[in-house]
Amino acid sequence: MKKSQNPYYRGPVSDHFDGTRFFNPGGRPPKGMADLLRWQFAGGKARWPAHNPSPFEQVKPELSVEGERLRVTMVGHATLLVQVHGVNILTDPVWARRASPFAFAGPQRYNAPGIELDDLPPIDIVLVTHNHYDHLDVETLAALQEEHAPRIITPLGNDTIIRHAVPDAEITVVDWNDRVDCGDDIVIHAEPCHHWSARGSRDRRMALWAAFVLETPAGKIYHVGDTGFHDGINYRAAREKHGPFRLANLPFGSYEPRWFMQDQHQNPEEAVRGMIDCAATHVAGHHWGTFRLTDEGVDEPRLALERALDAAGIARARFRPLRPGEVFDVPAAASAAE
């Protein structure tokens, strides 16, 4: 393939970009079409109910959270409202009914968003970790732009996709290890994670993926949208560079079958190991129960997480498997009971 055939990004070769495609240094690329078909036709998908309603009501968040407080509200899947130091941050905002390029097909939402779009407080920053449809929804971003005009921070190449749909968006584009000063003593760092990207069948790995570290006066937050465990390499690197963390937002669902998913989605046991490796006092668990993407049952991630926490001797209250509408007031590190 010629180096000019990346529709999203052109830039110098680096330790994670070959001139056309991004890659995970020392890692593995996503499985190909033959393996995808093998998985899809193998059967083995657990039944999900017709709906998976949250036990929590939809909430109307406070306009602002100040002082030492840190609050996370689950919208659904990987969409979290993080409120800290008077700043409101949305991660991978998706209010769409389907995580798909099509309105009539693809993974559908099994529960309502935990916050109505119109009930959001003023949104200052949006973090978009990568371009898969369950993380980057251009219609949601357009609606947020119209109402809030937030600053969008996203890795290389994703800005091209966003700007096509939201031409007037304020977008800050980052590479791994970049730092963004957001004012109000908030600094955001882009960090590696083991994943990949695609919006279709011909643009695999042509836009970058990333995790984020948020430095705030109320403590540090490590946000991971999607990742394979990758022997904990990126977790330990984040700890050495930035840790420990008051809070980590970690995915722990969409992980079966392991032979197909292990390089892109960690399972609950690996998420607990990641919590330990990055030295997070508390975890907001996400990426489960809203979109059916993989083979495990709707509640299996939570049950497997409980087993993994018990086996590691970690109190279950420290790793919260959040459901839509659930509000997590994260204890200050000094007051953590564990």
Tell me if 127 is assigned to some domain: yes
Residue 140: what pLDDT?
A: 98
Tell me if 228 is assigned to some domain: yes
Give the number of other Cβ atoms within 10 Å of residue 295's Cβ.
Answer: 19
Pairing between strand 187-191 and 211-216?
A: antiparallel
Tell me if 11 is assigned to some domain: no
Residue 334: what pLDDT?
A: 58
Residue 119: what pLDDT?
A: 98
Residue 108: what pLDDT?
A: 96
Which two three-digit tokens encode residue 332? 């200050």
Tell me if 254 is assigned to some domain: yes
Residue 243: what pLDDT?
A: 87
Tell me if 48 is assigned to some domain: no
Q: Partners of 151 in the beta sheet?
A: 125, 170
How many independent structural domains does the chain possess?
1
Roughly what angle, to the nearest 10 degrees, separates helices 300-312 and 268-278? 40
Residue 103: what pLDDT?
A: 87
Note the pTM of the prediction, 2 decimals.
0.96
The tokens 């991630």 sit on which residue? Answer: 301
| Domain extent for 219 | 60-332
| Coil, helix or strand at residue 331 | coil
The residues near 326 (Cβ < 8 Å, ≥ 6 apart) are: 54, 56, 73, 74, 114, 320
Across the chain, which has 338 residues, the per-10-residue mean pLDDT values are 76 97 96 92 92 97 97 98 98 97 93 98 98 98 98 98 97 98 96 97 96 98 98 98 97 97 97 98 98 97 98 98 98 62
Tell me if 50 is assigned to some domain: no
**Residue 318's CATH number:** 3.60.15.10
Tell me if 102 is assigned to some domain: yes
Tell me if 46 is assigned to some domain: no
Give the number of other Cβ atoms within 10 Å of residue 310's Cβ.
Answer: 12
